[in-house]
């Protein structure tokens, strides 16, 4: 249910700001690494920054797929979820705009279905990669230990490496949406715009 009194809470706005900042940093790091050839650099960069942000910013999702999963499992209120989604998208667009100014061309900005398979295969791999990320995030949510952040970062890297040859391994609709808005390139954009099914667990999950 909507709770307008949340808007007067400092913790509410700190959470929203954390989502925007975390998504800005995550997307910016991944886009910068994507300028290198092959999927290894963005996969490693994404995994490392996901683990770092989970340690430093209190576990923001920085990923609309995970936020939608929390909303569907009723682990997050509608107002908090909506504000988080808007913050994530804003952070991703700002990161993409900044990266576009710094990069020589738009090649590394947009995730596309590659020649390694069909759009259907890309969707299957992207769904699998996002599911394993969400499963890891939910499973490690209650563990206040470095292993949780390590597992989360590893899931991001592993998913990007597995799905990268087929779909780019985004696993994050904001990471795909930001560059698409900035560049105007929407080729096969629907591949990254779906919601994973995850078990109902604690809402303090993040990244990807």
Q: Are 174 and 87 in contact (CB under 8 A)?
A: no
Report the predicted TM-score, pTM, of the whole model to 2 decimal places. 0.82
Query: 9-183, what's its fold?
Result: Glycerol uptake facilitator protein (1.20.1080)
Distance CA 101, CA 71 (A): 35
Q: What is the pLDDT of residue 199?
A: 45
Distance CA 104, CA 165 (A): 23
Helix axes 40-56, 10-33, angle to 10 degrees: 160
Distance CA 12, CA 5 (A): 10
Indicate the domain borders of the chain: 9-183
Q: What is the pLDDT of residue 170?
A: 86
Q: Are 188 and 117 in contact (CB under 8 A)?
A: no
Helix axes 64-72, 78-102, angle to 10 degrees: 170
N-to-C CA span, the chain: 27
Q: Supply the DSSP string of 173-185, one letter for each residue.
A: HHHHHHHHHHH--
Q: Give whole-number Cα distances, 9 to 5, 89, 124, 204, in Å.
A: 7, 22, 40, 18
Question: Please, which residues have CB within 8 angstroms of residue 162's CB and are 6 or more apart in sequence?
Answer: 125, 128, 129, 169
Q: Give whole-number Cα distances, 138 to 28, 52, 204, in Å.
A: 24, 17, 8
Based on C-alpha coordinates, what's the Rg of the chain? 16
Q: What angle (nearest 5°) sits at the alpha carbon of residue 55, between those of residues 52 and 56?
A: 85
Q: How far is CA 35 from the centre of its chain?
A: 18
Alpha helix (H) ranges present in 34-106?
Answer: 40-56, 64-72, 78-102
Q: Divide the 208 residues of the chain into consecutive groups of 10 and give the mean pLDDT of each group.
A: 67 92 95 84 94 86 90 85 95 94 70 64 90 88 71 93 85 90 75 46 55
What 3-state DSSP class applies to 60? coil
Distance CA 29, CA 78 (A): 29
């Amino acid at each position: 249910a909507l709770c307008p009194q949340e808007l007067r809470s400092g913790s509410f706005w700190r959470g929203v700001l954390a989502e925007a900042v975390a998504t800005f940093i995550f997307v910016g790091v991944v886009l910068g690494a994507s300028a290198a050839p092959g999927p290894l650099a963005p996969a490693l960069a994404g995994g490392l920054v996901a683990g770092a942000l989970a340690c430093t910013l209190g576990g923001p999702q920085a990923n609309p797929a995970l936020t939608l999963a929390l909303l569907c499992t009723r682990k997050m209120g509608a107002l908090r979820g909506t504000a988080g989604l808007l913050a994530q998208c804003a952070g991703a667009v700002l990161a993409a705009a900044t990266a576009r100014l710094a990069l020589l061309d738009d090649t590394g900005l947009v995730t596309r279905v590659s020649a390694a398979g069909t759009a259907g295969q890309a969707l299957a791999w992207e769904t699998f990669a996002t599911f394993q990320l969400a499963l890891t995030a939910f499973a490690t949510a209650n563990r206040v230990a470095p292993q949780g952040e390590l597992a989360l970062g590893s899931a991001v890297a592993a998913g990007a490496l597995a799905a990268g040859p087929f779909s780019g391994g985004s696993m994050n609709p904001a990471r795909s949406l930001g560059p698409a808005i900035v560049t105007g390139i929407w080729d096969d954009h629907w591949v990254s715009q779906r919601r994973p099914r995850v078990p109902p667990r604690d809402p303090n999950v993040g990244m990807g």
